[in-house]
Structure 1
Amino acid sequence: METLLTSNMFPIDSSMKPCIEKSTVINKYSFDACIQAAKKKATNGLTFLSIVASTSPFIGLFGTVVGILTAFAGMQSVTTINMIAPAIADALIATAVGILAAVPAYTFHQILAKKVEDLLATLKMQRDVYLSK
């Protein structure tokens, strides 16, 4: 079923409005194309957050391993724990930094992914309402 587009058909805040306004006749396929365009625009940057959230703990862990190996390599001339403890502490800082980067990135990724999911559900409801008229 095709519908003629009228000026009051979309609320001003609809994410589909700019896409749908390009056409004078709309149907389910044009709505779906506009929903996909809105999804692409809304998910821009989520991949970067996902990469930061998933890789930063591993980068921190790698820094910790390198630091511990360096500390143990220096143990051959060390006789007390007081000489090796600062090197181990520095190595563990790498893990802390990795986790410190991962937690906010993962949190914001989850929040934004949920908002995109909600946006898509709203756009699909709008599509169904407007096509049922």
Structure 2
Amino acid sequence: MIFSFLQNYGVVTIVVLAWLSIYLILVIWIFFYRYISLHLTLANEQQCLEGLLNGKNALSRSSLLYSNLNNIDKKITATILQYSLDKAMKDATLGLTFLAIVASTAPFIGLFGTVIEILEAFSKLGVGSKTTLDVIAPIISKALVATAAGILTAIPAYSFHLFLKRKVFELNTYLQLQINVLIASKE
């Protein structure tokens, strides 16, 4: 089966399909890893915010804001809290850039494979004098596999990127609300 696949497709198409397969595996892995991580962090930050709203005047030790302040021996100020928020957002967005890159480049990688396969097909067709639709159609349909693979990789990458971006926005909101409550309680 693999040998027939290798015989039917050119080297460039096989490389493109392998590349897109690796992309797809990484996209799925990043999504599930970041989703679970963000989901747990969001639940924790929601509890920390509820604690602050219920009259607790100190930042919970389980909050991302607190954990980012461990190396700071200064008094907690709005500037220090903003630093902690920025660091938490930097950590929360890990992997999102890769998803955006895959979403934007995967269709082009697939299209590249298709164009190369069609160029090779037309060069072979030019040698023979009989070029009918019966000869061209299978070659073109075979060439379009790379484009389909590129689109198939880009769609989940784009969707996962947007989904995780929304989760990061929610996390940012909870952390910013904690900062606002802490600053208001000190005034």
1:1-133 equivalences under 5 Å are: 9-11=58-60, 13-22=62-71, 23=73, 25-76=75-126, 77=128, 79=130, 80-133=132-185
Given that 2:85 and 2:172 are in contact with CA atoms closer than 8 Å, whether structure 1 keeps it comes out as yes
Cα shift readout 1:45-73 (whole Å, capped 9, x = no counterpart): 11111110000001111111112212222
> What TM-score results when the alignment is normalised by the length of structure 1?
0.85
Highest RCO, 1 vs 2 (Cα 8 Å, sep ≥ 6): 2
Which structure 1 residue ranges, 5 or more long, are not aligned?
A: 1-6
> What TM-score results when the alignment is normalised by the length of structure 2?
0.62
Given that 2:61 and 2:67 are in contact with CA atoms closer than 8 Å, whether structure 1 keeps it comes out as no
Question: Shift of the alpha carbon at 1:8?
Answer: 6.9
Identity of aligned residues (%): 44
Of Structure 1 and Structure 2, the greater helix share is in 2
Equivalenced residue count is: 127
Which structure 2 residue ranges, 5 or more long, are not aligned?
A: 1-55
Cα shift readout 1:83-105 (whole Å, capped 9, x = no counterpart): 32222111101110000000000
